[in-house]
Chains A and B, each alone.
Chain A
Amino acid sequence: MDKKPKLKVTLVTGRTIEQGAGKEYGKFSRKYGESVSTCYMDPEDMKKLAIRDRTNILVSTKYGSVVVKAAKSSRAPHPGIIYIPYGPWVNVLVDPETNSIGMPTLKGIPAEVEPAPDKPILSLEELLKQQFRKD
Protein backbone atom coordinates (compact mmCIF):
# COMPACT_ATOMS: atom_id res chain seq x y z
CA MET A 1 0.00 0.00 0.00
CA ASP A 2 1.06 3.51 -0.70
CA LYS A 3 1.72 5.94 2.05
CA LYS A 4 -1.25 8.18 2.70
CA PRO A 5 -1.31 10.97 0.16
CA LYS A 6 -0.41 14.43 1.44
CA LEU A 7 -0.81 17.67 -0.40
CA LYS A 8 1.13 20.88 0.09
CA VAL A 9 -1.15 23.90 -0.20
CA THR A 10 -1.53 27.53 0.76
CA LEU A 11 -4.10 28.27 3.44
CA VAL A 12 -6.25 31.36 3.10
CA THR A 13 -8.80 32.47 5.70
CA GLY A 14 -11.62 34.92 5.28
CA ARG A 15 -15.29 35.57 5.67
CA THR A 16 -18.18 33.76 4.08
CA ILE A 17 -21.77 34.85 4.25
CA GLU A 18 -22.68 31.57 6.00
CA GLN A 19 -20.14 32.37 8.70
CA GLY A 20 -21.35 35.97 8.83
CA ALA A 21 -24.97 34.98 9.30
CA GLY A 22 -24.09 31.94 11.44
CA LYS A 23 -22.27 34.10 13.97
CA GLU A 24 -25.38 36.19 14.44
CA TYR A 25 -27.35 33.02 15.27
CA GLY A 26 -24.86 32.35 18.06
CA LYS A 27 -21.36 31.00 18.24
CA PHE A 28 -22.52 27.72 19.75
CA SER A 29 -25.15 27.16 17.07
CA ARG A 30 -24.71 24.27 14.64
CA LYS A 31 -24.94 26.70 11.78
CA TYR A 32 -21.87 28.60 12.92
CA GLY A 33 -19.91 25.49 13.91
CA GLU A 34 -20.45 23.83 10.56
CA SER A 35 -19.74 26.98 8.62
CA VAL A 36 -16.31 27.49 10.15
CA SER A 37 -15.11 23.88 10.33
CA THR A 38 -15.30 23.49 6.57
CA CYS A 39 -12.32 23.63 4.26
CA TYR A 40 -13.05 24.65 0.68
CA MET A 41 -10.80 22.91 -1.82
CA ASP A 42 -10.25 22.82 -5.51
CA PRO A 43 -11.88 19.68 -7.01
CA GLU A 44 -8.59 18.80 -8.69
CA ASP A 45 -6.79 18.87 -5.34
CA MET A 46 -9.48 16.65 -3.88
CA LYS A 47 -8.93 14.21 -6.68
CA LYS A 48 -5.22 14.13 -5.91
CA LEU A 49 -6.03 13.15 -2.34
CA ALA A 50 -8.66 10.70 -3.53
CA ILE A 51 -11.30 12.24 -1.28
CA ARG A 52 -14.89 13.16 -1.86
CA ASP A 53 -17.01 16.08 -0.92
CA ARG A 54 -17.60 16.12 2.87
CA THR A 55 -14.73 13.78 3.77
CA ASN A 56 -12.86 14.70 6.94
CA ILE A 57 -9.33 15.94 6.38
CA LEU A 58 -6.42 16.82 8.63
CA VAL A 59 -4.90 20.21 7.89
CA SER A 60 -1.51 20.94 9.43
CA THR A 61 0.79 23.94 9.53
CA LYS A 62 3.91 24.79 11.48
CA TYR A 63 1.65 26.04 14.25
CA GLY A 64 -0.81 23.19 14.71
CA SER A 65 -3.21 20.80 13.07
CA VAL A 66 -6.97 20.33 13.08
CA VAL A 67 -9.58 18.05 11.52
CA VAL A 68 -12.14 19.77 9.30
CA LYS A 69 -14.54 18.77 6.57
CA ALA A 70 -13.44 19.10 2.96
CA ALA A 71 -15.94 20.71 0.63
CA LYS A 72 -15.74 21.22 -3.07
CA SER A 73 -15.16 24.88 -3.72
CA SER A 74 -17.68 26.59 -5.92
CA ARG A 75 -15.02 29.20 -6.56
CA ALA A 76 -12.64 26.88 -8.41
CA PRO A 77 -10.26 26.77 -10.15
CA HIS A 78 -7.76 27.71 -7.46
CA PRO A 79 -5.44 24.69 -7.31
CA GLY A 80 -3.10 24.63 -4.35
CA ILE A 81 -5.18 27.08 -2.33
CA ILE A 82 -7.46 25.97 0.48
CA TYR A 83 -9.91 28.22 2.21
CA ILE A 84 -11.21 27.96 5.77
CA PRO A 85 -13.48 30.72 7.14
CA TYR A 86 -12.39 32.65 10.27
CA GLY A 87 -13.17 30.78 13.44
CA PRO A 88 -11.80 28.70 16.29
CA TRP A 89 -10.78 25.84 13.99
CA VAL A 90 -8.55 27.81 11.66
CA ASN A 91 -7.04 29.70 14.61
CA VAL A 92 -5.17 26.56 15.50
CA LEU A 93 -3.40 26.80 12.14
CA VAL A 94 -2.55 30.46 11.62
CA ASP A 95 0.77 32.21 12.08
CA PRO A 96 0.71 34.32 15.27
CA GLU A 97 3.80 36.37 14.30
CA THR A 98 2.85 40.03 13.83
CA ASN A 99 6.16 41.33 12.42
CA SER A 100 5.99 44.14 14.95
CA ILE A 101 2.84 45.71 13.65
CA GLY A 102 0.23 44.01 15.79
CA MET A 103 -1.33 41.98 13.01
CA PRO A 104 -0.88 38.22 12.72
CA THR A 105 -0.57 36.67 9.26
CA LEU A 106 -3.94 35.16 8.45
CA LYS A 107 -3.68 34.64 4.74
CA GLY A 108 -1.25 32.65 2.68
CA ILE A 109 0.12 30.20 5.21
CA PRO A 110 1.92 27.06 3.95
CA ALA A 111 -0.11 24.01 4.98
CA GLU A 112 -0.45 20.29 4.39
CA VAL A 113 -3.66 18.38 3.82
CA GLU A 114 -4.24 14.67 4.26
CA PRO A 115 -7.40 12.58 4.29
CA ALA A 116 -8.63 11.64 7.76
CA PRO A 117 -11.91 9.85 7.17
CA ASP A 118 -11.85 8.16 10.57
CA LYS A 119 -10.84 11.17 12.64
CA PRO A 120 -13.79 13.12 14.04
CA ILE A 121 -14.29 16.85 13.77
CA LEU A 122 -14.34 18.16 17.32
CA SER A 123 -17.36 20.08 18.47
CA LEU A 124 -16.69 23.65 19.55
CA GLU A 125 -16.85 22.63 23.21
CA GLU A 126 -14.40 19.78 22.66
CA LEU A 127 -12.10 21.95 20.62
CA LEU A 128 -12.01 24.62 23.33
CA LYS A 129 -11.38 22.00 25.98
CA GLN A 130 -8.56 20.49 24.00
CA GLN A 131 -7.02 23.85 23.23
CA PHE A 132 -7.47 25.73 26.48
CA ARG A 133 -8.58 23.37 29.25
CA LYS A 134 -10.29 25.98 31.34
CA ASP A 135 -12.79 24.63 33.79
Chain B
Amino acid sequence: MTVVKAVTCPVCGCLCDDIELTVRNGRIIKVKNGCAMCEAKFLSHASDHRPTKSMIRREGKLVEVSLEEAVRKAAEILVDASYPVLYGWSSTSCEATKVGIELCEEIGGVIDNTAVVCHGPSILAVQQVGIPSCTLGQVRHRADLIIYWGCDPWSAHPRHIERYTAFSEGRFEKSAWRTYINKVKALVGSKKIESAIRRLAIKSWEPAVARVEKSPSQYLSREGRKLIVVDVRRTKTAEMADYFIQVEPGKDYELFKAMRALIRDQEIEVDRVAGVPVEYLEDVVDVMVSCDFGAIFFGLGLTMGSAKLKNIEEAIRLTRDLNMRTKFIIMPMRGHFNVAGANIVSTWETGYPFAVDFSLGYPRYNPGETSVVDILLRKESDAALVIASDPVSNFPHKASEHLVQKPLIVIDAHMNVTASMADVFIPAAMVGIEAEGTAYRMDHVPIPLKKVVDPPEGVFSDEEILRLILSEVRKIKKERMEAG
Protein backbone atom coordinates (compact mmCIF):
# COMPACT_ATOMS: atom_id res chain seq x y z
CA MET B 1 0.00 0.00 0.00
CA THR B 2 1.37 3.40 -0.92
CA VAL B 3 0.14 6.88 -0.30
CA VAL B 4 0.70 9.40 -3.08
CA LYS B 5 0.58 13.02 -1.97
CA ALA B 6 0.03 16.30 -3.81
CA VAL B 7 -1.91 14.79 -6.67
CA THR B 8 -3.83 17.17 -8.93
CA CYS B 9 -7.53 16.44 -9.31
CA PRO B 10 -8.50 16.18 -12.98
CA VAL B 11 -12.17 17.11 -12.72
CA CYS B 12 -12.98 20.80 -12.57
CA GLY B 13 -11.23 24.08 -13.31
CA CYS B 14 -10.09 24.44 -9.67
CA LEU B 15 -7.39 21.80 -10.28
CA CYS B 16 -6.94 21.20 -6.54
CA ASP B 17 -3.39 19.92 -6.19
CA ASP B 18 -3.50 18.67 -2.61
CA ILE B 19 -5.21 15.32 -3.14
CA GLU B 20 -3.84 12.29 -1.29
CA LEU B 21 -4.41 8.86 -2.78
CA THR B 22 -3.95 5.45 -1.25
CA VAL B 23 -2.99 2.87 -3.85
CA ARG B 24 -3.08 -0.88 -3.36
CA ASN B 25 -2.23 -3.43 -6.08
CA GLY B 26 -2.41 -0.80 -8.79
CA ARG B 27 -5.84 0.41 -7.70
CA ILE B 28 -6.75 3.62 -5.97
CA ILE B 29 -8.67 2.65 -2.86
CA LYS B 30 -8.88 5.88 -0.91
CA VAL B 31 -9.13 9.55 -1.81
CA LYS B 32 -8.33 12.21 0.76
CA ASN B 33 -9.02 15.97 0.59
CA GLY B 34 -11.09 15.78 -2.60
CA CYS B 35 -14.75 16.60 -3.06
CA ALA B 36 -17.46 14.14 -4.15
CA MET B 37 -16.74 14.57 -7.87
CA CYS B 38 -13.02 14.12 -7.30
CA GLU B 39 -13.52 10.93 -5.31
CA ALA B 40 -15.93 9.52 -7.89
CA LYS B 41 -13.43 10.14 -10.69
CA PHE B 42 -10.38 8.72 -8.95
CA LEU B 43 -12.27 5.61 -7.92
CA SER B 44 -13.79 5.14 -11.38
CA HIS B 45 -10.44 4.19 -12.92
CA ALA B 46 -10.93 0.69 -11.56
CA SER B 47 -14.58 0.43 -12.61
CA ASP B 48 -15.66 -2.90 -14.03
CA HIS B 49 -17.58 -1.17 -16.78
CA ARG B 50 -14.50 0.40 -18.21
CA PRO B 51 -13.91 -0.53 -21.85
CA THR B 52 -10.35 -1.70 -22.57
CA LYS B 53 -10.72 -2.84 -26.17
CA SER B 54 -11.04 -0.76 -29.32
CA MET B 55 -14.31 -1.18 -31.17
CA ILE B 56 -15.68 -0.67 -34.66
CA ARG B 57 -19.34 -0.62 -35.67
CA ARG B 58 -20.23 -3.51 -37.95
CA GLU B 59 -23.83 -4.12 -39.01
CA GLY B 60 -25.07 -1.75 -36.39
CA LYS B 61 -23.13 -3.28 -33.49
CA LEU B 62 -19.88 -2.25 -31.86
CA VAL B 63 -17.47 -5.18 -32.09
CA GLU B 64 -14.03 -5.50 -30.55
CA VAL B 65 -11.05 -5.10 -32.83
CA SER B 66 -7.32 -4.55 -32.42
CA LEU B 67 -6.00 -1.07 -31.72
CA GLU B 68 -4.19 -1.07 -35.09
CA GLU B 69 -7.41 -1.80 -36.93
CA ALA B 70 -9.31 0.93 -35.07
CA VAL B 71 -6.54 3.46 -35.71
CA ARG B 72 -6.46 2.52 -39.41
CA LYS B 73 -10.23 2.89 -39.70
CA ALA B 74 -10.20 6.22 -37.86
CA ALA B 75 -7.46 7.53 -40.12
CA GLU B 76 -9.36 6.43 -43.23
CA ILE B 77 -12.50 8.20 -42.07
CA LEU B 78 -10.56 11.40 -41.47
CA VAL B 79 -8.68 11.29 -44.78
CA ASP B 80 -11.86 10.56 -46.73
CA ALA B 81 -13.80 13.38 -45.08
CA SER B 82 -13.77 16.79 -46.71
CA TYR B 83 -14.94 18.76 -43.67
CA PRO B 84 -14.35 16.78 -40.45
CA VAL B 85 -14.72 18.31 -36.99
CA LEU B 86 -12.40 17.48 -34.09
CA TYR B 87 -14.18 18.25 -30.87
CA GLY B 88 -13.67 17.91 -27.11
CA TRP B 89 -10.20 18.59 -25.62
CA SER B 90 -11.24 20.16 -22.33
CA SER B 91 -10.66 16.99 -20.29
CA THR B 92 -7.35 15.98 -21.71
CA SER B 93 -3.80 17.29 -21.47
CA CYS B 94 -2.35 20.26 -23.32
CA GLU B 95 0.08 17.83 -24.95
CA ALA B 96 -2.82 15.89 -26.50
CA THR B 97 -4.48 19.08 -27.74
CA LYS B 98 -1.25 20.06 -29.43
CA VAL B 99 -1.19 16.79 -31.41
CA GLY B 100 -4.88 17.30 -32.17
CA ILE B 101 -4.18 20.65 -33.80
CA GLU B 102 -1.42 19.11 -35.91
CA LEU B 103 -3.86 16.38 -36.97
CA CYS B 104 -6.52 18.95 -37.81
CA GLU B 105 -4.13 20.91 -40.00
CA GLU B 106 -3.12 17.70 -41.76
CA ILE B 107 -6.71 16.78 -42.65
CA GLY B 108 -8.04 20.31 -43.21
CA GLY B 109 -10.83 20.12 -40.67
CA VAL B 110 -12.25 22.20 -37.88
CA ILE B 111 -10.98 21.92 -34.32
CA ASP B 112 -13.25 23.19 -31.59
CA ASN B 113 -13.26 22.69 -27.84
CA THR B 114 -16.04 22.58 -25.28
CA ALA B 115 -15.50 26.24 -24.40
CA VAL B 116 -17.74 26.97 -27.34
CA VAL B 117 -20.77 25.80 -25.36
CA CYS B 118 -19.76 27.11 -21.94
CA HIS B 119 -17.46 30.12 -21.73
CA GLY B 120 -17.22 30.80 -25.48
CA PRO B 121 -19.19 34.02 -24.99
CA SER B 122 -16.81 35.02 -22.18
CA ILE B 123 -13.85 34.64 -24.53
CA LEU B 124 -15.62 36.74 -27.16
CA ALA B 125 -16.33 39.40 -24.55
CA VAL B 126 -12.71 39.41 -23.39
CA GLN B 127 -11.62 39.88 -27.00
CA GLN B 128 -13.89 42.94 -27.12
CA VAL B 129 -13.12 44.66 -23.84
CA GLY B 130 -10.14 42.91 -22.20
CA ILE B 131 -10.17 41.53 -18.69
CA PRO B 132 -8.74 42.74 -15.37
CA SER B 133 -7.86 39.48 -13.63
CA CYS B 134 -5.30 37.84 -11.37
CA THR B 135 -4.36 34.43 -10.01
CA LEU B 136 -6.41 32.56 -7.44
CA GLY B 137 -3.52 32.82 -5.01
CA GLN B 138 -3.96 36.57 -4.94
CA VAL B 139 -7.67 36.21 -4.33
CA ARG B 140 -7.02 33.77 -1.52
CA HIS B 141 -4.61 36.04 0.29
CA ARG B 142 -6.08 39.45 -0.38
CA ALA B 143 -9.70 39.55 -1.49
CA ASP B 144 -12.11 40.85 1.15
CA LEU B 145 -15.20 40.83 -1.03
CA ILE B 146 -16.16 37.83 -3.14
CA ILE B 147 -19.06 37.90 -5.58
CA TYR B 148 -20.31 34.76 -7.30
CA TRP B 149 -22.53 35.77 -10.19
CA GLY B 150 -24.58 33.21 -12.08
CA CYS B 151 -22.56 30.31 -10.77
CA ASP B 152 -22.95 27.75 -8.03
CA PRO B 153 -19.49 26.66 -6.93
CA TRP B 154 -20.92 24.50 -4.18
CA SER B 155 -22.28 22.23 -6.92
CA ALA B 156 -19.90 22.73 -9.82
CA HIS B 157 -16.57 23.67 -8.20
CA PRO B 158 -17.09 22.29 -4.70
CA ARG B 159 -13.74 23.37 -3.21
CA HIS B 160 -13.47 26.77 -4.82
CA ILE B 161 -14.84 28.63 -1.80
CA GLU B 162 -12.70 26.71 0.66
CA ARG B 163 -9.44 26.83 -1.28
CA TYR B 164 -9.49 30.18 -2.99
CA THR B 165 -12.15 32.53 -1.69
CA ALA B 166 -14.36 33.19 1.33
CA PHE B 167 -13.46 30.18 3.47
CA SER B 168 -9.76 30.02 2.68
CA GLU B 169 -7.25 31.15 5.24
CA GLY B 170 -5.29 33.84 3.44
CA ARG B 171 -2.20 35.68 4.51
CA PHE B 172 -3.95 39.02 4.81
CA GLU B 173 -7.56 37.93 4.90
CA LYS B 174 -8.94 35.38 7.30
CA SER B 175 -11.46 32.68 6.55
CA ALA B 176 -15.12 33.53 6.96
CA TRP B 177 -15.85 29.93 7.86
CA ARG B 178 -16.69 30.64 11.52
CA THR B 179 -19.21 33.30 10.66
CA TYR B 180 -20.80 30.82 8.31
CA ILE B 181 -20.96 28.08 10.93
CA ASN B 182 -22.62 30.46 13.36
CA LYS B 183 -25.09 31.47 10.70
CA VAL B 184 -25.92 27.85 9.90
CA LYS B 185 -26.45 27.11 13.56
CA ALA B 186 -28.74 30.11 13.85
CA LEU B 187 -30.54 29.08 10.69
CA VAL B 188 -31.05 25.51 11.85
CA GLY B 189 -32.30 26.87 15.15
CA SER B 190 -34.71 29.23 13.48
CA LYS B 191 -35.84 26.51 11.09
CA LYS B 192 -36.69 24.36 14.08
CA ILE B 193 -38.62 27.20 15.66
CA GLU B 194 -40.24 27.82 12.32
CA SER B 195 -41.46 24.28 11.90
CA ALA B 196 -42.68 24.21 15.50
CA ILE B 197 -44.60 27.39 14.88
CA ARG B 198 -45.94 25.99 11.64
CA ARG B 199 -47.14 22.94 13.51
CA LEU B 200 -48.94 25.26 15.88
CA ALA B 201 -50.37 26.89 12.76
CA ILE B 202 -49.39 30.43 13.51
CA LYS B 203 -49.88 32.21 10.20
CA SER B 204 -47.97 35.42 10.66
CA TRP B 205 -44.52 33.82 10.98
CA GLU B 206 -42.00 34.99 8.44
CA PRO B 207 -39.43 32.42 7.32
CA ALA B 208 -35.86 33.32 8.14
CA VAL B 209 -34.43 32.30 4.80
CA ALA B 210 -36.19 34.80 2.55
CA ARG B 211 -33.35 37.24 2.58
CA VAL B 212 -34.00 38.69 -0.84
CA GLU B 213 -36.50 41.19 0.37
CA LYS B 214 -34.36 42.48 3.18
CA SER B 215 -31.97 45.37 3.21
CA PRO B 216 -28.37 44.23 2.79
CA SER B 217 -26.93 46.67 5.31
CA GLN B 218 -27.52 44.39 8.30
CA TYR B 219 -25.79 41.47 6.53
CA LEU B 220 -22.88 43.28 4.97
CA SER B 221 -21.81 45.55 7.78
CA ARG B 222 -19.65 43.08 9.66
CA GLU B 223 -15.84 43.03 9.48
CA GLY B 224 -13.84 40.53 7.45
CA ARG B 225 -14.35 38.66 4.23
CA LYS B 226 -17.78 38.96 2.71
CA LEU B 227 -19.56 36.79 0.19
CA ILE B 228 -22.32 37.99 -2.13
CA VAL B 229 -24.17 35.70 -4.53
CA VAL B 230 -26.24 36.83 -7.51
CA ASP B 231 -28.35 34.17 -9.17
CA VAL B 232 -31.81 33.35 -10.43
CA ARG B 233 -32.20 30.55 -7.88
CA ARG B 234 -31.30 30.35 -4.24
CA THR B 235 -28.49 27.86 -4.79
CA LYS B 236 -26.47 26.12 -2.09
CA THR B 237 -23.78 28.74 -2.54
CA ALA B 238 -26.39 31.45 -2.09
CA GLU B 239 -27.27 29.96 1.27
CA MET B 240 -23.70 30.35 2.43
CA ALA B 241 -23.52 33.93 1.31
CA ASP B 242 -23.72 36.99 3.51
CA TYR B 243 -26.13 38.44 1.01
CA PHE B 244 -28.03 36.94 -1.85
CA ILE B 245 -29.47 38.93 -4.73
CA GLN B 246 -32.13 37.01 -6.60
CA VAL B 247 -32.18 38.43 -10.10
CA GLU B 248 -35.08 37.81 -12.46
CA PRO B 249 -34.08 35.32 -15.18
CA GLY B 250 -32.42 37.04 -18.13
CA LYS B 251 -32.14 40.43 -16.36
CA ASP B 252 -28.48 40.34 -15.35
CA TYR B 253 -27.64 42.87 -18.03
CA GLU B 254 -29.99 45.44 -16.50
CA LEU B 255 -28.50 44.80 -13.10
CA PHE B 256 -24.96 45.43 -14.34
CA LYS B 257 -26.06 48.63 -16.03
CA ALA B 258 -27.78 49.81 -12.87
CA MET B 259 -24.74 49.05 -10.74
CA ARG B 260 -22.48 50.89 -13.15
CA ALA B 261 -24.76 53.91 -12.96
CA LEU B 262 -24.74 53.81 -9.16
CA ILE B 263 -20.95 53.60 -9.05
CA ARG B 264 -20.86 56.82 -11.06
CA ASP B 265 -23.29 58.37 -8.57
CA GLN B 266 -26.05 58.59 -11.15
CA GLU B 267 -29.69 58.58 -10.15
CA ILE B 268 -31.88 55.65 -11.11
CA GLU B 269 -35.46 56.66 -11.64
CA VAL B 270 -37.18 53.33 -11.09
CA ASP B 271 -37.86 51.50 -7.83
CA ARG B 272 -36.64 48.12 -8.93
CA VAL B 273 -34.13 46.77 -11.42
CA ALA B 274 -34.35 43.09 -12.39
CA GLY B 275 -36.64 42.55 -9.42
CA VAL B 276 -34.21 44.07 -6.90
CA PRO B 277 -35.11 47.27 -5.02
CA VAL B 278 -32.76 50.07 -6.04
CA GLU B 279 -32.12 51.13 -2.45
CA TYR B 280 -30.71 47.67 -1.72
CA LEU B 281 -28.57 47.88 -4.82
CA GLU B 282 -27.20 51.17 -3.55
CA ASP B 283 -26.11 49.47 -0.34
CA VAL B 284 -24.49 46.61 -2.26
CA VAL B 285 -22.64 49.03 -4.52
CA ASP B 286 -21.41 50.90 -1.44
CA VAL B 287 -19.93 47.69 -0.11
CA MET B 288 -18.30 47.02 -3.47
CA VAL B 289 -16.74 50.45 -3.71
CA SER B 290 -15.49 50.44 -0.14
CA CYS B 291 -13.80 47.03 -0.16
CA ASP B 292 -10.01 46.76 -0.51
CA PHE B 293 -9.87 43.97 -3.04
CA GLY B 294 -12.99 42.59 -4.69
CA ALA B 295 -13.34 39.57 -6.94
CA ILE B 296 -16.22 38.67 -9.22
CA PHE B 297 -16.49 35.05 -10.35
CA PHE B 298 -19.08 34.38 -13.00
CA GLY B 299 -20.51 31.25 -14.47
CA LEU B 300 -22.79 29.90 -17.10
CA GLY B 301 -25.74 31.78 -15.63
CA LEU B 302 -24.34 34.74 -17.55
CA THR B 303 -23.06 33.04 -20.70
CA MET B 304 -26.01 30.80 -21.38
CA GLY B 305 -28.85 33.28 -21.07
CA SER B 306 -30.06 35.10 -24.13
CA ALA B 307 -27.76 38.10 -23.72
CA LYS B 308 -24.67 35.84 -23.72
CA LEU B 309 -21.50 37.81 -24.45
CA LYS B 310 -23.21 41.15 -23.84
CA ASN B 311 -23.69 40.10 -20.22
CA ILE B 312 -20.01 39.36 -19.84
CA GLU B 313 -18.97 42.58 -21.53
CA GLU B 314 -21.07 44.50 -19.02
CA ALA B 315 -19.66 42.47 -16.13
CA ILE B 316 -16.14 43.30 -17.25
CA ARG B 317 -17.04 46.97 -17.72
CA LEU B 318 -18.49 46.98 -14.21
CA THR B 319 -15.18 45.63 -12.93
CA ARG B 320 -13.34 48.28 -14.89
CA ASP B 321 -15.52 51.01 -13.38
CA LEU B 322 -14.94 49.61 -9.92
CA ASN B 323 -11.22 49.82 -10.50
CA MET B 324 -11.53 53.62 -10.67
CA ARG B 325 -12.53 53.49 -7.01
CA THR B 326 -10.79 50.41 -5.59
CA LYS B 327 -9.16 47.16 -6.69
CA PHE B 328 -11.43 44.66 -8.41
CA ILE B 329 -10.88 41.60 -10.59
CA ILE B 330 -13.14 39.30 -12.55
CA MET B 331 -12.73 35.66 -13.58
CA PRO B 332 -14.83 33.06 -15.38
CA MET B 333 -15.46 29.81 -13.47
CA ARG B 334 -14.11 27.35 -16.02
CA GLY B 335 -15.81 23.98 -15.85
CA HIS B 336 -13.73 21.10 -17.17
CA PHE B 337 -10.28 20.77 -15.66
CA ASN B 338 -8.36 21.73 -18.78
CA VAL B 339 -10.77 23.77 -20.82
CA ALA B 340 -8.57 26.79 -20.17
CA GLY B 341 -5.60 24.77 -21.45
CA ALA B 342 -7.47 23.81 -24.61
CA ASN B 343 -8.02 27.50 -25.33
CA ILE B 344 -4.46 28.44 -24.51
CA VAL B 345 -2.85 25.72 -26.62
CA SER B 346 -5.22 26.50 -29.48
CA THR B 347 -4.30 30.18 -29.22
CA TRP B 348 -0.57 29.68 -29.19
CA GLU B 349 -0.68 27.16 -32.05
CA THR B 350 -3.23 28.83 -34.33
CA GLY B 351 -3.85 32.32 -33.01
CA TYR B 352 -7.43 31.53 -31.98
CA PRO B 353 -8.87 30.02 -28.78
CA PHE B 354 -11.61 27.77 -30.23
CA ALA B 355 -13.63 27.13 -33.41
CA VAL B 356 -10.55 27.06 -35.68
CA ASP B 357 -11.16 26.08 -39.29
CA PHE B 358 -8.25 24.65 -41.32
CA SER B 359 -10.28 23.82 -44.43
CA LEU B 360 -8.54 26.49 -46.50
CA GLY B 361 -5.12 25.32 -45.35
CA TYR B 362 -4.60 28.16 -42.86
CA PRO B 363 -6.44 28.82 -39.57
CA ARG B 364 -9.65 30.83 -39.71
CA TYR B 365 -11.87 31.78 -36.80
CA ASN B 366 -15.43 32.97 -37.04
CA PRO B 367 -17.64 31.75 -34.17
CA GLY B 368 -21.15 31.26 -35.45
CA GLU B 369 -19.71 29.94 -38.71
CA THR B 370 -16.74 27.78 -37.72
CA SER B 371 -18.10 26.71 -34.32
CA VAL B 372 -19.13 23.10 -33.99
CA VAL B 373 -22.81 23.51 -33.03
CA ASP B 374 -23.40 25.77 -36.03
CA ILE B 375 -21.59 23.41 -38.38
CA LEU B 376 -23.71 20.54 -37.13
CA LEU B 377 -26.95 22.51 -37.35
CA ARG B 378 -26.12 23.43 -40.96
CA LYS B 379 -25.28 19.74 -41.54
CA GLU B 380 -21.95 20.61 -43.15
CA SER B 381 -19.50 18.25 -41.49
CA ASP B 382 -19.04 14.79 -42.96
CA ALA B 383 -17.14 13.09 -40.11
CA ALA B 384 -16.14 13.81 -36.55
CA LEU B 385 -13.56 12.87 -33.97
CA VAL B 386 -14.67 13.42 -30.39
CA ILE B 387 -12.09 13.19 -27.63
CA ALA B 388 -12.54 13.31 -23.86
CA SER B 389 -16.00 14.78 -24.13
CA ASP B 390 -19.63 13.75 -24.43
CA PRO B 391 -21.38 16.14 -26.82
CA VAL B 392 -24.49 13.97 -27.23
CA SER B 393 -25.14 14.52 -23.52
CA ASN B 394 -24.59 18.24 -23.81
CA PHE B 395 -25.54 19.51 -27.25
CA PRO B 396 -29.04 20.49 -28.28
CA HIS B 397 -30.63 17.46 -29.81
CA LYS B 398 -30.70 18.89 -33.35
CA ALA B 399 -26.92 19.27 -33.33
CA SER B 400 -26.24 15.77 -31.96
CA GLU B 401 -28.47 14.30 -34.62
CA HIS B 402 -26.13 15.27 -37.44
CA LEU B 403 -23.07 14.35 -35.38
CA VAL B 404 -24.15 10.72 -34.97
CA GLN B 405 -25.40 10.35 -38.53
CA LYS B 406 -21.95 10.89 -40.02
CA PRO B 407 -18.92 8.65 -39.34
CA LEU B 408 -17.96 9.23 -35.73
CA ILE B 409 -14.69 8.44 -33.97
CA VAL B 410 -14.63 8.62 -30.17
CA ILE B 411 -11.58 8.49 -27.91
CA ASP B 412 -12.55 8.34 -24.25
CA ALA B 413 -11.73 6.51 -21.03
CA HIS B 414 -15.38 5.63 -20.50
CA MET B 415 -18.27 4.36 -22.55
CA ASN B 416 -20.23 7.60 -22.51
CA VAL B 417 -23.36 8.44 -24.48
CA THR B 418 -21.48 9.71 -27.53
CA ALA B 419 -19.14 6.72 -27.44
CA SER B 420 -22.09 4.35 -27.50
CA MET B 421 -23.01 5.78 -30.90
CA ALA B 422 -19.49 5.82 -32.34
CA ASP B 423 -18.38 4.03 -35.49
CA VAL B 424 -14.87 3.75 -34.12
CA PHE B 425 -14.20 3.75 -30.40
CA ILE B 426 -10.71 3.78 -28.89
CA PRO B 427 -10.43 3.51 -25.10
CA ALA B 428 -7.97 5.93 -23.50
CA ALA B 429 -6.00 6.16 -20.30
CA MET B 430 -7.32 8.68 -17.79
CA VAL B 431 -5.16 11.80 -17.86
CA GLY B 432 -4.07 12.79 -14.38
CA ILE B 433 -4.56 9.26 -13.06
CA GLU B 434 -3.01 6.86 -15.57
CA ALA B 435 -1.13 9.33 -17.74
CA GLU B 436 0.71 12.54 -17.01
CA GLY B 437 0.35 15.88 -18.71
CA THR B 438 -0.23 19.56 -18.14
CA ALA B 439 -3.46 21.39 -17.45
CA TYR B 440 -4.30 25.07 -16.98
CA ARG B 441 -6.29 26.14 -13.96
CA MET B 442 -9.14 28.63 -14.43
CA ASP B 443 -6.74 31.49 -13.62
CA HIS B 444 -4.36 30.30 -16.39
CA VAL B 445 -1.77 28.82 -14.07
CA PRO B 446 -0.31 25.62 -15.58
CA ILE B 447 -0.31 22.67 -13.20
CA PRO B 448 1.28 19.26 -13.81
CA LEU B 449 -0.94 16.18 -13.71
CA LYS B 450 0.49 13.02 -12.21
CA LYS B 451 0.45 9.44 -13.31
CA VAL B 452 -0.53 7.50 -10.20
CA VAL B 453 -1.38 4.04 -11.50
CA ASP B 454 -0.86 2.15 -14.76
CA PRO B 455 -3.65 2.15 -17.34
CA PRO B 456 -5.32 -1.19 -18.14
CA GLU B 457 -3.21 -3.30 -20.45
CA GLY B 458 -3.23 -2.22 -24.07
CA VAL B 459 -4.78 1.16 -23.25
CA PHE B 460 -2.82 4.28 -24.25
CA SER B 461 -3.06 7.97 -23.44
CA ASP B 462 -4.97 10.42 -25.64
CA GLU B 463 -1.69 11.89 -26.81
CA GLU B 464 -0.30 8.51 -27.89
CA ILE B 465 -3.53 7.51 -29.66
CA LEU B 466 -3.64 10.82 -31.55
CA ARG B 467 -0.02 10.38 -32.61
CA LEU B 468 -0.86 6.92 -33.95
CA ILE B 469 -3.81 8.32 -35.90
CA LEU B 470 -1.73 11.23 -37.20
CA SER B 471 1.04 9.00 -38.51
CA GLU B 472 -1.53 6.65 -40.04
CA VAL B 473 -3.20 9.63 -41.75
CA ARG B 474 0.14 10.69 -43.18
CA LYS B 475 0.82 7.15 -44.32
CA ILE B 476 -2.54 6.85 -46.10
CA LYS B 477 -2.09 10.22 -47.77
CA LYS B 478 1.34 9.16 -49.00
CA GLU B 479 0.03 5.82 -50.28
CA ARG B 480 -2.72 7.59 -52.17
CA MET B 481 -0.30 10.14 -53.61
CA GLU B 482 1.98 7.41 -54.85
CA ALA B 483 -0.92 5.46 -56.29
CA GLY B 484 -1.86 8.66 -58.14
Contacts and interface: CB of A to CB of B under 8 A. Distances in A.
The residue among B37, B47, B355, B417 with the most chain A CB atoms within 10 A of its own CB is: B417
Interface residues of A, number: 51
Contact of B305 (A27, A73, A96, A108): A108
Given A26-B414, A96-B373, A131-B401, A15 B396 contact: no
Interface in A13-28: 13-17, 20-28
B227 interface: no
A135 B396 contact: no
Nearest to A132: B404
Contacts of B240: none
Contact of B116 (A17, A24, A102): A102
A21 B43 CA distance: 11
A128 B417 contact: yes
Contact of A63 (B40, B234, B398): B398
B400 interface: yes
B81 interface: no
Contact of B371 (A73, A98, A124): A98
B121 A101 contact: yes
A50 B124 CA distance: 44
Interface of A: 10, 12-17, 20-29, 63-64, 73, 75-78, 81, 83, 86-88, 91-92, 94-96, 98-108, 124, 128, 131-132, 134-135
17 contacts: A14-B155, A15-B152, A17-B158, A20-B12, A22-B40, A24-B11, A27-B415, A28-B417, A75-B234, A100-B369, A101-B120, A101-B121, A102-B116, A103-B121, A105-B305, A107-B305, A108-B249
Interface of B: 11-12, 36-37, 39-41, 44, 47, 49, 60-61, 112, 116-117, 120-121, 124, 152, 154-156, 158, 210, 232-236, 246, 249-250, 300-301, 303-306, 308-309, 335, 354-355, 367-369, 371-374, 377, 390, 392-401, 404-405, 414-417, 420-421
